[in-house]
Structure 1
């Protein structure tokens, strides 16, 4: 089923139209929309249109951090920024920082000033114009929640068309604790996070290494408090095969997941650390199955030893 061909269907409002319903201190945004982009010329407009389509009662800012694109992405973002100077901040890095092991999330605390952080990368986009308003309302009504999440369409980019593959599972709960969260997946394009929590997590867990990705971010955030759920499809995750995760083969994905889970089991405590040890056990079991299929005696023995250690640590920690 073809979902979209080129442009987001949401209407593009003028800067005055976007700001006409804002109340309060217009110089301070309630939400900072943080968009990381690199060589996404064909898709960044769709992301920008989704941001600019938001109808809110509060001020928001759009921060686009371009990691030294070379394909014309920067020119597209610059055009939007010139048309929406009071809303859009365009940051273009002179040199590519990701190649030096610097992930975009470590930059947001220095760039964003909102009470909440809304994440969306430049090749994904939002589908509804009330996404931000509804998610902020949920967080304002739930003091114990650190983040609001929602549902996402997974779509594969094929030529100039997006093919709808699946939708994330909708929980039966309005609020998720760590145990309930285990049965569900939420994409980062739906995240609206309390900025104080997000900034402290970045400072305490993400600096100095690039091992932690989106899965780790989710695991750390749930250790800080509950997630509140907007049970609506609000975004599209565009699968291109060029992303950090989707470009990896199965072995590299398992290795990354394993190393991240091992570090998280040390960085977290209680049930959160225990769940990471359970994940290590699951990955080790998958690696043993792969070794058995390969008929490589050395790999089978090694995988068996590591699995035994994972079982011991999982059951007796």
Structure 2
């Protein structure tokens, strides 16, 4: 098992994150790969202390900011994560960003047992608690209720299906060497979830076993995770996955795109919906092989309204 911990400017949180990982019942069978992405707030020094305290368990990768991939001028951590995936040596991959944490010492054991029982599945996910900057519960889940299975029939949506800290998956080829178009999409995690679903189902593991921390410097503050930009970015993901994965049913993609357009219509009217769709279509081309009929039907719906 390889546990991947990308971190950047998480000085107040990285210790809590690593402590929660080291408490896992399967930790003796795991390697912990920490990617420190050039922080200037003391995060790097904390990571080095943990590496020295757990030699052979924690592998620390010290990055600088010169290789950071930017999306619409905004620095992202995807190069850091991609490098960790390539460096991983385990039969399974688990994910926990440096500002999140795990809540159940049996999390990994439970998910690995599920995947061992179901070799046809590519991954497992579970419910995630939402906590504040101080680690206090906000009394809600990141996403609930969760279906018992995600695959290409239902994973495409306007919302992220589950939180990344809940994912345990097999190291499929498209994660180790993701398509180049994933580098420029706004929601890299959703693109990876889609690539996994192209290879097989993801199964629900019972329990709320991780925590997503909301704080002022979290990833969701970025403009491409909000408003109309979010709709454009996610429509691009589904359009490109439709061209990349032949197993993806047209009805699923069409449903997700309709959801996006419908939300834009309700919030900003039909003209804005048309502009958003045209923007997404432009950004997706020429990677998308979506049927022209689907594009025409969606444009017609945007023009006519709900």
How far off its partner does 1:311 sit?
A: 5.9
Equivalent residue for 2:9?
39
Equivalent residue for 1:141?
117
Q: 1:283 aligns with which of 249, 254, 260?
A: 260
Equivalent residue for 1:105?
81
How far off its partner does 1:310 sit?
A: 4.1
2:228 pairs with 1:251: yes
Q: Secondary structure at the match of 2:193?
A: helix
How far off its partner does 1:133 sit?
A: 1.1
Query: Which 5+ residue runs of structure 2 have no aligned equivalent?
Result: 72-77, 282-292, 301-306
How far off its partner does 1:137 sit?
A: 1.1
Equivalent residue for 1:224?
199
Contact 1:103–1:210 (Cα < 8 Å) also in 2: no
How far off its partner does 1:284 sit?
A: 2.1
After TM superposition, which residue ranges in structure 1, 4 or more long, deviate above 6 angstroms?
303-309
How far off its partner does 1:238 sit?
A: 0.7
Contact 2:102–2:209 (Cα < 8 Å) also in 1: yes
Cα distance between partner residues in 1 of 2:238 and 2:156: 14
Equivalent residue for 2:303?
none
Equivalent residue for 1:186?
162
Cα distance between partner residues in 2 of 1:304 and 1:137: 42
Cα distance between partner residues in 2 of 1:100 and 1:300: 26
Contact 2:150–2:202 (Cα < 8 Å) also in 1: yes
The alpha-carbon distance between structure 1 residues 63 and 104, as it changes in their structure 2 partners (threshold 3 A), is same
How far off its partner does 1:132 sit?
A: 1.0
Cα distance between partner residues in 2 of 1:87 and 1:178: 36
Following superposition of structure 1 onto structure 2, how do residues 55-134 of structure 1 map, counting pairs within 5 Å? 55-56=25-26, 59-100=29-70, 103-134=79-110
How far off its partner does 1:268 sit?
A: 2.3
Tell me the TM-score normalised to structure 1 length. 0.76
The alpha-carbon distance between structure 1 residues 57 and 161, as it changes in their structure 2 partners (threshold 3 A), is closer
Q: Secondary structure at the match of 1:103?
A: helix
Cα distance between partner residues in 2 of 1:310 and 1:227: 29
The alpha-carbon distance between structure 1 residues 304 and 44, as it changes in their structure 2 partners (threshold 3 A), is closer
The alpha-carbon distance between structure 1 residues 146 and 299, as it changes in their structure 2 partners (threshold 3 A), is closer
Equivalent residue for 1:14?
none
Count of residue pairs the alignment pairs up:
276
Contact 2:127–2:210 (Cα < 8 Å) also in 1: yes
Q: Please say which of residues 257-266 and 32-41 is displaced more in the overlay.
A: 257-266
The alpha-carbon distance between structure 1 residues 257 and 245, as it changes in their structure 2 partners (threshold 3 A), is farther
The alpha-carbon distance between structure 1 residues 186 and 292, as it changes in their structure 2 partners (threshold 3 A), is closer
Following superposition of structure 1 onto structure 2, how do residues 13-52 of structure 1 map, counting pairs within 5 Å? 31-52=1-22
Contact 1:284–1:310 (Cα < 8 Å) also in 2: no
Query: Which 5+ residue runs of structure 1 have no aligned equivalent?
Result: 1-30
Tell me the TM-score normalised to structure 2 length. 0.79
Equivalent residue for 1:23?
none
